[in-house]
């Protein structure tokens, strides 16, 4: 019996362990931290051996193959030892793909990938497809393959997940955009981060499709320098002459092999230029799958968006509170600030991933009346904006930040949580941060 070691007992690790056990592997799960109770429960039920708060190297180095958590960098000493011994180290995405013949639609990008993933899943379900979404959101790909087999999977993939692929090949790949993010993981080298995103197309053939934002400079630059085998379908705000999608005055147009879909921009459920592109990506997939145009139209009109992404929470004293906790980089926050049409109290901060705040200055000048920093180290934020915003405050808890925003905001204003940073200094993750924001708002 071949032995699989799973490093990290989070959502992806436990999913990989479940699938491996089902497929007849001897499985051992090792986590350097504490394993959550619900994950322990799954491992115990399936009689899978596990350890927490340590990595027993002697045991791990006897593996035939290792699936590692996307959060573990390749630079860790244990990963180097495994590779020196010639033991393959792969991602859970790579492992799961071996055990399904489903149609795979994979989405990556610095921003917008969760919205696009959910929008495509919503659209395919409306068309009565056998489909489930997962990967970097919801259930892991491996858990879906083990417990919820479908004919189609829509997968959100982070660059970390793509780092661990060898042969994973999506039938349709989507790159929403690429801007500076996670540079701490890529030695502060933007080109390495771009290359990680483009791994989505690494194994694609001429039979596959790559949908991408043709207006994004990093994507344009990469495509000029590298050959991609997949059929390329650009998304653009300007007219294009090839198959793909573009904005024509007040309409979006999607053209695939002389089959055209058009729809007024005003009818798309989610507003903002970035969401128009997200809708175009979803419509392009639907056109490739030859879904009825009426179903596409209804799905673009009826989609409600995702939690923690420009989510309107409550209006109190005519002040709108908006939860954009999923904005973990400056580009995502750029979209949020750009969509503000009123004076805004902006709650920002967390773990900086190499952020450059200069691009936000014009938007901050235009609509931000006060900044509330919410993080352990706020020095860089204060320094970046002290010359254009007079009122900048520092806080250490969500309750304190929301109460302060309540006193600063006047009737007609907005309070926007759009942190531009990771959440791990004060919160478990961005979901925890967003939920705490909503709870604090409801307590006002």
Over its C-alpha atoms, the chain yields an Rg (Å, rounded) of 22
Asked if 106 contacts 97 with a C-beta cutoff of 8 angstroms, the reply is: no
Sign of the dihedral through C-alpha 400, 404, 409, 413: negative
Is 197 known as a binding-site position?
no
Is 164 known as a binding-site position?
no
The DSSP bridge pattern shows strands 244-248 and 49-51 to be unpaired
Asked if 246 contacts 217 with a C-beta cutoff of 8 angstroms, the reply is: no
The DSSP bridge pattern shows strands 49-51 and 26-30 to be parallel
Which residue bears the tokens 């991933």? Answer: 353
Is 113 known as a binding-site position?
yes
Quote the CA–CA distance of 370 and 364 in Å, as a whole number.
Answer: 9
Is 207 known as a binding-site position?
no
Closest CA to 221 of 209, 212, 229: 212
Neighbours of 163 (CB within 10 A): 18
CA dihedral defined by 25, 167, 278, 347, rounded to 10 degrees? Answer: 60
Quote the CA–CA distance of 232 and 212 in Å, as a whole number.
Answer: 8
Quote the CA–CA distance of 415 and 399 in Å, as a whole number.
Answer: 14
Is 438 known as a binding-site position?
no
The DSSP bridge pattern shows strands 89-90 and 209-213 to be unpaired
Is 114 known as a binding-site position?
yes
Which residue bears the tokens 């909503």? Answer: 438
Is 329 known as a binding-site position?
no
Closest CA to 274 of 187, 216, 349, 348: 216
Quote the CA–CA distance of 359 and 185 in Å, as a whole number.
Answer: 22
* Binding residue positions for ATP: 109-115
Residues of the binding site: 109-115
């Amino acid at each position: 019996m071949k032995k699989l070691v799973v490093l990290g007992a989070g959502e992806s690790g436990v999913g990989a362990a479940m699938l491996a056990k089902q497929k007849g592997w001897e499985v051992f799960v090792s986590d350097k931290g504490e394993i959550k109770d619900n994950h322990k429960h799954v491992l115990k039920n399936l009689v899978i051996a596990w350890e927490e708060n340590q990595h027993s190297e002697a045991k791990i180095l006897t593996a035939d193959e290792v699936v590692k958590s996307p959060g573990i960098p390749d630079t860790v000493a244990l990963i180097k030892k495994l590779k020196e011994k010639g033991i393959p180290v792969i991602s859970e995405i790579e492992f799961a793909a071996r055990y399904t013949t489903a149609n795979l639609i994979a989405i990556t990008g610095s921003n917008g990938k969760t919205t696009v993933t959910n929008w495509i899943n919503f659209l395919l379900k409306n068309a009565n497809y056998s489909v489930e979404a997962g990967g970097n959101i919801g259930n892991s790909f491996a858990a879906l393959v083990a417990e919820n087999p479908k004919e189609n999977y829509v997968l959100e993939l982070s660059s970390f997940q793509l780092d661990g692929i060898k042969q994973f090949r999506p039938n349709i790949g989507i790159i929403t955009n690429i801007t500076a993010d996670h540079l701490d993981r890529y030695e502060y080298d933007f080109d390495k981060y771009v290359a990680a995103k483009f791994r989505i197309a690494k194994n694609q053939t001429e039979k596959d499709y790559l949908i991408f934002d043709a207006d994004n400079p990093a994507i344009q630059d990469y495509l000029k320098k590298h050959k991609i085998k997949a059929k390329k379908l650009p998304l653009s705000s300007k007219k294009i002459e090839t198959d793909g999608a573009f904005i024509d005055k007040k309409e979006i147009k999607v053209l695939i092999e002389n089959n055209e879909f058009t729809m007024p921009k005003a009818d798309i459920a989610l507003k903002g230029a970035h969401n128009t592109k997200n809708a175009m990506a979803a419509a392009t997939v639907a056109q490739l799958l030859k879904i009825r145009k009426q179903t596409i139209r209804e799905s673009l009109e009826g989609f409600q968006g995702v939690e923690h992404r420009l989510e309107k929470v409550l209006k109190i004293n005519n002040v709108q509170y908006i939860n954009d906790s999923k904005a973990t980089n400056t580009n995502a926050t750029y979209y949020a600030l750009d969509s503000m049409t009123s004076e805004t109290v902006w709650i920002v901060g967390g773990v900086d991933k190499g952020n450059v705040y200069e691009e936000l200055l014009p938007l901050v000048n235009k609509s931000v009346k006060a900044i509330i920093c919410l993080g352990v180290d706020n020095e860089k934020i204060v320094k970046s904006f002290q010359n254009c915003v007079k009122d900048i405050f520092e806080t250490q808890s969500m309750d304190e930040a929301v109460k302060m925003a309540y006193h600063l905001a006047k009737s007609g204003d907005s309070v926007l949580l759009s942190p531009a940073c990771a959440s791990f200094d004060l919160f478990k993750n961005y979901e925890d941060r967003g939920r705490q924001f909503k709870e604090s708002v409801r307590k006002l």
